[in-house]
A and B are shown apart, each in its own frame.
Chain A
Amino acid sequence: DAGITQSPRHKVTETGTPVTLRCHQTENHRYMYWYRQDPGHGLRLIHYSYGVKDTDKGEVSDGYSVSRSKTEDFLLTLESATSSQTSVYFCAISDKDRGTGNSPLHFGNGTRLTVT
């Protein structure tokens, strides 16, 4: 698996509590992404990062924030978890260069989050 580690692998939390998911890469790739995967919706982009301290929103960013203080780590935070955020969360990385753009995403093994 392309040097990507997600933690924790599973988490159960209560509504209203803050939750942070971590993605760690050893590939020194510039781009990192957070996706959620739900039945009937496929993979949807939450946030992504194109460099240290450089992030942008995806299509389902409400209720989520991210931070990237180092190249290797990309954190996803749910400030106040809701049941609608129960999902499988995937981190992905890419070494896509701005000029060429031709590099596939490689995914971590996912974090299964349940909000009760």
Chain B
Amino acid sequence: EDKVVQSPLSLVVHEGDTVTLNCSYEVTNFRSLLWYKQEKKAPTFLFMLTSSGIEKKSGRLSSILDKKELFSILNITATQTGDSAVYLCAVESLRYSGAGSYQLTFGKGTKLSVIP
């Protein structure tokens, strides 16, 4: 059974701090790892990582994958109150059901609260 574990489960920081969110996984037929941000409604896509050691970056957010050690981190620098959200990590695996279909297994998320 595929498993994705995120840590910490919750985190409170002050504006301007830098935070690191962790995601470890155990899956068969790994294809990619994805990060999502969820505020009040739907999760919104942040990054997809498929190769080890290559950093993906978008503004103050960055992420890297280590396929040997089976984990990923999401960094947020100079945090702002608008970064307050639940950050979800998901791992995509290939499911050999004859259709070659893909599915995502999600972690339980890290709730980040940024206070002024």
Q: How far is the CA of A54 from the CA of B100 in the complex (A)?
A: 12
Query: Which residue of B42, B43, B45, B100 has the most chain A CB atoms within 10 A of its CB atom?
Result: B42
Q: Are A56 and B108 in contact (CB under 8 A)?
A: no
Residues facing B in A23-54 (CB within 8 A) are 31, 33, 35, 40-45, 48, 50-51, 54
Residues facing A in B86-116 (CB within 8 A) are 88, 90, 92, 94-95, 97, 99-109
Given A43-B88, A107-B42, A110-B42, A98:B99 Cβ within 8 A: yes
Query: Which residue of A35, A58, A105, A109 has the most chain B CB atoms within 10 A of its CB atom?
Result: A105
**Number of chain B residues whose Cβ lies closer than 8 Å to a Cβ of chain A:** 27
- Residues of B close to A96: CB separation below 8 A: 102
Query: Which residue of B32, B34, B102 has the most chain A CB atoms within 10 A of its CB atom?
Result: B102
Choose from A44, A102, A109, A110 the contact partner of B48 (Cβ within 8 Å): A102
Q: Are A45 and B103 in contact (CB under 8 A)?
A: yes
**Closest residue of B by beta carbon distance from A4:** B42
**Closest residue of B by beta carbon distance from A90:** B42
- Residues of B close to A94: CB separation below 8 A: 102
B52 to chain A, nearest CB (A): 15
A96 to chain B, nearest CB (A): 6
**Closest residue of B by beta carbon distance from A58:** B103
Pairs of residues from A and B, 3 with the lowest C-beta to C-beta distance, nearest first:
A107-B42, A42-B108, A43-B106
Could you give 20 example pairs across A and B, Cβ below 8 Å? A1-B42, A31-B101, A33-B104, A40-B108, A43-B104, A45-B104, A45-B105, A50-B101, A94-B102, A101-B31, A101-B94, A101-B102, A102-B32, A102-B48, A102-B50, A104-B48, A105-B45, A107-B43, A108-B42, A110-B42
